[in-house]
Structures are given as structure tokens and as C-alpha cells.
């Protein structure tokens, strides 16, 4: 059933050169999807696209773009629409986080994070959604995080940006009810990818029980999207953490999260 959803359809994947994005590309190509790969690294994207096209006999396109700069998402959407193919699915995966006190982050870096994690995702959804609604099929898999369920001291901008993604997705899912277009937020817990190195954080010992591989996280995320789950948290431990964040006092959750980050040397 899941193969039928993607086979012969075009899928746009942002942040496709590594981590989740690369795994989405590999798994969706194996399901017969044609790929539009986007990130900043043209060489990596072309190598990945050629490999997957040869292995799975699917088509691919490469659109190099930096979504953290002003106008990047608008430009990407226009370039994708100009390809002349029907984009049925969008994996809004591009994003980054930085650990440490907000007072040391700097306004420029904070703005770039919001532009990539929130603005780019919103712009791409706004520009690529109308054709899907007109056709009565397609959808968006928005990559959020369990950090979006709670305050995240020492990663406050990142956590807030992912809370936006979760609520944006849930709101649109209700708007799109009955249209044939799906809207799903994938909310991973800690995963061993290049994200941690870029963010300057490490997976804490107490989190290791909740760690899934990138490949497994993506596999479960795709199946949740196929099942039309609006919000999906992969892993039992991560699900429990999300539930606890909903019912415990917000100040208590923030204090516990802040202490964990301090123990990891981010404060």
C-alpha cells in the first residue's frame, strides 16, 4: 500500500544531502518515487541522485538552494514549480539547532534558525500546497522534534521553532480534512546524525534508551505519513516523554530540561 502512494510520484526533499534527508531519499527511491533533491551541496546531491536513479530506475532533479538566507524558500519553490513536474509529496526536512545560552547565540544566528526551521517550511507549504488541493492528492511530511512539546532551555529558539512546526501542521491537517491532501509532523527524539555535532551537543547517557537510528526513524515516519497520522513520535520512550510534557507543570518541565542541558555542558 505504501509503495502505491509514492510509486511514480515526485517527492521534494529539503536538506537531502545528509542525515534524515538522505535516508528519506534512499527509502522513497526504493519505493519507486521520483526525487527532487535540495540542499546547499550540489556535488553531494548529484552523486546521491545519480546513485538512486541507477539503482532504482527512478528520475531525479537537483535544485541547490540555501534556505537559511532571505528569499531562499521562495526561490526554491519557484524553481521546483518551473521544473514542470507534479510534486505530490514534500518532505520539509531542512533545519538546524544550536545548544547554549540564548544570550550567546547572536541575533543573526537566531534569525537564520527561524528562517530555516519555520519560514522556509511555511513558504514551501504555501506555494506547493494549492496544486495538491486542486488535484485532490499529495501531502507534506514536516520534520519537527519532541523538543517542540516542551520549553527547551539552552536550545530555546530551536525548541520554539519546532513547537511552531507541530502546531502549524496540526492546524493545516484540520483545514485539509476531506481534500485528499495529508499533513503530518514527524517528531523524533535524539538520533545519532550530524545534527548533534552541528548543534554542539551530545546524546546524554539517560537518553540512550530512546535513541533510534536515522534509518529506522525515517522508516517509521514514512509509514506514519502513509497511515495519515497527523503527529507521530517514533519510539516508546519518546512518546512517554511527550505525554509527560503535556501534563506536568511547564515550569517543572523547563527546569528538568535545563538541568539536563547543564549536565551536558551546554550552559
User: Is the confidence at residue 170, as pLDDT, over 50?
Assistant: yes
pTM: 0.85
* Contacting residues for 34 by C-beta, under 8 A, at least 6 apart: 8, 9, 10, 11, 58, 59, 60, 85
User: How many structural domains are present in the chain?
Assistant: 1
Burial class (CB in 10 A: 0-12, 13-18, 19+), 52: buried
Output Rg (C-alpha) for the chain, integer angstroms.
18
C-alpha cell at 125: 507549504
d(CA 201, CA 265): 8
Write phi, then psi, for 33 (nearest 5 degrees): -80, 145
* Contacting residues for 109 by C-beta, under 8 A, at least 6 apart: 98
User: What is the per-residue pLDDT for 123?
Assistant: 98
d(CA 217, CA 183): 18
User: What is the per-residue pLDDT for 190?
Assistant: 80
What is the average pLDDT score of the chain?
87
For the chain, the helix, strand and coil percentages under 3-state DSSP, each to the nearest 5: 55, 15, 30
Average pLDDT over residues 44-72: 97
The residue written with cell numbers 517509521 in the block is: 220
So which residues are the catalytic ones?
158, 162
Output the CA–CA distances (angstroms, integers) from residue 139 to 10, 56, 78, 92, in the order listed: 11, 23, 18, 11
Burial class (CB in 10 A: 0-12, 13-18, 19+), 84: exposed
Are 93 and 20 within 8 A, CB to CB? Answer: yes
Give residue 161's pLDDT band: very low, low, confident or very high (50, 70, 90).
very high
User: What is the per-residue pLDDT for 199?
Assistant: 47
* pLDDT tens digit sequence for 208-259: 555 789 999 999 999 999 999 999 999 655 555 554 455 445 555 454 544 5
Average pLDDT over residues 93-111: 93
Q: Which domain covers residue 174, as residue numbers?
A: 2-263
User: What is the per-residue pLDDT for 212?
Assistant: 87
User: What is the per-residue pLDDT for 11?
Assistant: 98
User: Which CATH number do you get for residue 242?
Assistant: 3.40.50.720
Amino acid at each position: 500500500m505504501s509503495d502505491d502512494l509514492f510509486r511514480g510520484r515526485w517527492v521534494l526533499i529539503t536538506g537531502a544531502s545528509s542525515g534524515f534527508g538522505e535516508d528519506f531519499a534512499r527509502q522513497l527511491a526504493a519505493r519507486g518515487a521520483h526525487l527532487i533533491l535540495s540542499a546547499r551541496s550540489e556535488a553531494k546531491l548529484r552523486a546521491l541522485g545519480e546513485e538512486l536513479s541507477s539503482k532504482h530506475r527512478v528520475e531525479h532533479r537537483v535544485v541547490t538552494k540555501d534556505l537559511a538566507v532571505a528569499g531562499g524558500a521562495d526561490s526554491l519553490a519557484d524553481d521546483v514549480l518551473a521544473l514542470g513536474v507534479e510534486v505530490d509529496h514534500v518532505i520539509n526536512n531542512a533545519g538546524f539547532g544550536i545548544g547554549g545560552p540564548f544570550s550567546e547565540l547572536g541575533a543573526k544566528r537566531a534569525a537564520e534558525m527561524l528562517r530555516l526551521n519555520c519560514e522556509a517550511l511555511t513558504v514551501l507549504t504555501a506555494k506547493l500546497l494549492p496544486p495538491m488541493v486542486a488535484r485532490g492528492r499529495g501531502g507534506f511530511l514536516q520534520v519537527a522534534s519532541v523538543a517542540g512539546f516542551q520549553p527547551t532551555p539552552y536550545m530555546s529558539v530551536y525548541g520554539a521553532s519546532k513547537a511552531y512546526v507541530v502546531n502549524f501542521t496540526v492546524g493545516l491537517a484540520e483545514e485539509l480534512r476531506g481534500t485528499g491532501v495529508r499533513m503530518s509532523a514527524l517528531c523524533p527524539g535524539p538520533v545519532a546524525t550530524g545534527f548533534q555535532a552541528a548543534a554542539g551537543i551530545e546524546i546524554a547517557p539517560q537518553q540512550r534508551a530512546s535513541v533510534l537510528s536515522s534509518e529506522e526513524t525515517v522508516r517509521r515516519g514514512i509509514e506514519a505519513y502513509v497511515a495519515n497520522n497527523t503527529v507521530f513520535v517514533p519510539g516508546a520512550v519518546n512518546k512517554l516523554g511527550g505525554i509527560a510534557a503535556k501534563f506536568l507543570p511547564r515550569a517543572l518541565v523547563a527546569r528538568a530540561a535545563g538541568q539536563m542541558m547543564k549536565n551536558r555542558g551546554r550552559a
